Amino acid sequence: MILLFLQLFWTFFLIGLFGFGGGYAMISMIQGEVVGHYHWMTMGQFTDIVAVSQSTPGPIGINSATYVGYTSLVNAGYEPCWGILGSFIATFAVVLPSFILMLLVSKFLLKHRNDPAVESVFSGLRPAVVGLILAAALLLMNSENFSSMSENPWRFCLSILLFCFAFIGQKVYRLGPILIIMLCGLAGIILGL
Amino acid sequence: MFELFKTFFQIGLFTIGGGYAMIPLIEQKVVDEKHWVDHDELLDLIAVAQSCPGIFAVNISIFIGNKRMGNKGALASAVGTCMPSFLCILVIALVFQQFRENVYVEHFFRGIRPAVVALILLPVFRMAKSANINRYNVWIPLVAAFLIWMLGVSPIFVVLVAGVSGYIYGKYLKEDFFNS
């Protein structure tokens, strides 16, 4: 268990340290480490965590760190009280690097923001972060989240429909994410997905 | 100091949908009500908080807390911002574990999952615009996505390589490629 705590701390410390580009870029990193590398949970469970993180108060990065910390411990077969400790460690670890860095770097960055070296580092980072978020979305398009044509055609087609609804609803009609999530969840219950 | 904690606790509690949704609320509370920073300062602050790693809203709160009351103020603001999320998620996690097997909860989340994928895909287009993605540099996000998606490369590694190559590019290849 101590190993799991140490791994959680180290993983979320790294995510906090290299988490450029906001919550969605962090989701990509959490996905890579927690699902891809350590197999602490399945892609489906991870998607549920993202859904809850999006529709509860607070920054998505904090929400998902808290939730992943809890779920990793409980999935490994430990009692919920250890899960609470896990979520504390993950949240603390994800904030710690930015806390130290912000205190040190804020002065430096304010002074050197137009420095060409700093500028060129960010000119490489910005486009890569866009790719990071794209990868997160692509990785979530799997049979666990959408089902598949051979496994369950009804659920597969409905999932595609709900995907299109959410995409157009937000992009064209500017519906809020919570409203979209609630409507799709209700549709899931009514249509028996 | 309690004032800092309380303000950022409220900001954390009443924003749903991530860091960028917090900006209007921070503006209202911190600039208009408390006058801790002015509008121009907040804009600079947003730029700095965006260019630092970590969670955007937490970075802003650390910055403002630090400006008001030094290290202690930064700590109080950061804890204030994180606390509502932490408590909300814990309650949900504890309850959700029990209702997980419920048929309706299962249907509900099966309906939600495709929507979540769409909601993650959308910021790609928003961010592509603000990152100045054009036909000359569109290969960077595409290659980054491909490496992570198909080859299983860690996103942390991709960010490292992107930062270092940006630095090398700017330093040794003077041609103004990225801003074209």
User: Can you give the three-state secondary structure of B92-161, one letter per residue?
Assistant: HHHHHHHHCCCHHHHHHHHHHHHHHHHHHHHHHHHHHHHCCCCCCCCHHHHHHHHHHHCCCCCHHHHHHH
The better pLDDT of the pair B96, B83 is held by B83
A77-95 burial string, b = 16+ CB within 10 Å, else e?
A: eeebebbbbbbbbbbbbbb
Q: Please, which pLDDT band fits residue B180 given cuts at 50, 70 and 90?
A: very low
Query: Which positions in chain B touch A20 (Cβ < 8 Å)?
Result: 51, 53, 159, 163
Question: What is the average pLDDT value for chain B, to the nearest integer?
Answer: 83
Task: Report d(CA A131, CA B124) in Å as an integer.
Answer: 8
Query: Are A145 and B178 an interchain contact pair (Cβ–Cβ within 8 Å)?
Result: no
Angle at A113 between CA A61 and CA A123, to 5 degrees: 65
pLDDT single digits (tens) B150-161: 888 888 888 889
Q: Residue B130 above 70 pLDDT? A: yes
Q: Residue A19 above 80 pLDDT? A: yes
Q: What is the pLDDT of residue A86?
A: 94
By the 8 A CB rule, do A179 and A55 touch?
Answer: no
Q: What is the pLDDT of residue B94?
A: 87
Q: What is the pLDDT of residue B12?
A: 84
Task: Report d(CA B57, CA B77) in Å as an integer.
Answer: 10
H or E, element range at A142: none
By the 8 A CB rule, do A29 and B155 touch?
Answer: yes
Query: Which positions in chain B touch A136 (Cβ < 8 Å)?
Result: 120
Tokens at A92, concatenated:
């603390």
Q: What is the pLDDT of residue B175?
A: 56
A94 and A178 belong to one structural domain = no
Task: Report d(CA A123, CA B177) in Å as an integer.
Answer: 10
Query: Are A125 and B163 an interchain contact pair (Cβ–Cβ within 8 Å)?
Result: yes
A89 and A128 belong to one structural domain = yes
CB nearest B66 (choices: A106, A177, A189): A106
Query: Are A37 and B154 an interchain contact pair (Cβ–Cβ within 8 Å)?
Result: yes
A30 and A102 belong to one structural domain = yes
A31 and A45 belong to one structural domain = yes
Q: Residue B86 above 50 pLDDT? A: yes
Q: Could you tell me if B86 lies within 8 Å of chain A, comparing CB atoms?
A: yes
A181 and A135 belong to one structural domain = no
Query: Are B66 and A141 an interchain contact pair (Cβ–Cβ within 8 Å)?
Result: no
CB nearest A136 (choices: B50, B120, B142): B120
Question: What is the average pLDDT value for chain A, to the nearest integer?
Answer: 88
CA-CA distances (angstroms) from residue B137 to A57, A120, B69, B154, B174? 35, 14, 43, 21, 16
Q: Residue B179 above 60 pLDDT? A: no
Query: Are A23 and B22 an interchain contact pair (Cβ–Cβ within 8 Å)?
Result: no
Task: Report d(CA B4, CA B8) in Å as an integer.
Answer: 6
pLDDT single digits (tens) A140-169: 888 888 888 888 898 999 999 999 999 999
A192: left (phi over 0), alpha (psi -120 to 50) or beta: left
Tokens at A136, concatenated:
């997160």
Q: What domain count does chain A have?
A: 2
The better pLDDT of the pair B20, A91 is held by A91
Nearest CA in chain A to B83: A58
**Parent domain of A87:** 2-143
H or E, element range at B173: none
Classify the C-alpha dihedral B17-B23-B27-B29 as positive or negative: positive
A123 and A151 belong to one structural domain = no
Tokens at A103, concatenated:
């205190």
A36 and A126 belong to one structural domain = yes
Q: Residue A175 above 60 pLDDT? A: yes
Task: Report d(CA B30, CA B36) in Å as an integer.
Answer: 6
Angle at A61 between CA A58 and CA A62, to 5 degrees: 55
Q: What is the dihedral of CA A55, A42, A187, A176, to 10 degrees?
A: 30
A99 and A186 belong to one structural domain = no
Q: What is the pLDDT of residue B67?
A: 83
CB nearest B178 (choices: A28, A47, A123): A123
Query: Are B52 and A98 an interchain contact pair (Cβ–Cβ within 8 Å)?
Result: yes
A97 and A174 belong to one structural domain = no
Q: Give the pTM.
A: 0.78
Q: Could you tell me if B56 lies within 8 Å of chain A, comparing CB atoms?
A: yes
A127 and A59 belong to one structural domain = yes
By the 8 A CB rule, do A78 and A71 touch?
Answer: no
CB nearest B122 (choices: A103, A171, A184): A171
A68 and A132 belong to one structural domain = yes
A12 and A34 belong to one structural domain = yes
Query: Are B19 and A33 an interchain contact pair (Cβ–Cβ within 8 Å)?
Result: no
Q: Residue B40 above 60 pLDDT? A: yes
pLDDT single digits (tens) A92-148: 999 999 888 888 876 676 677 677 887 788 788 888 888 888 888 898 888 888 888
> Position B138: which residue type?
V
Q: What is the pLDDT of residue A106?
A: 67
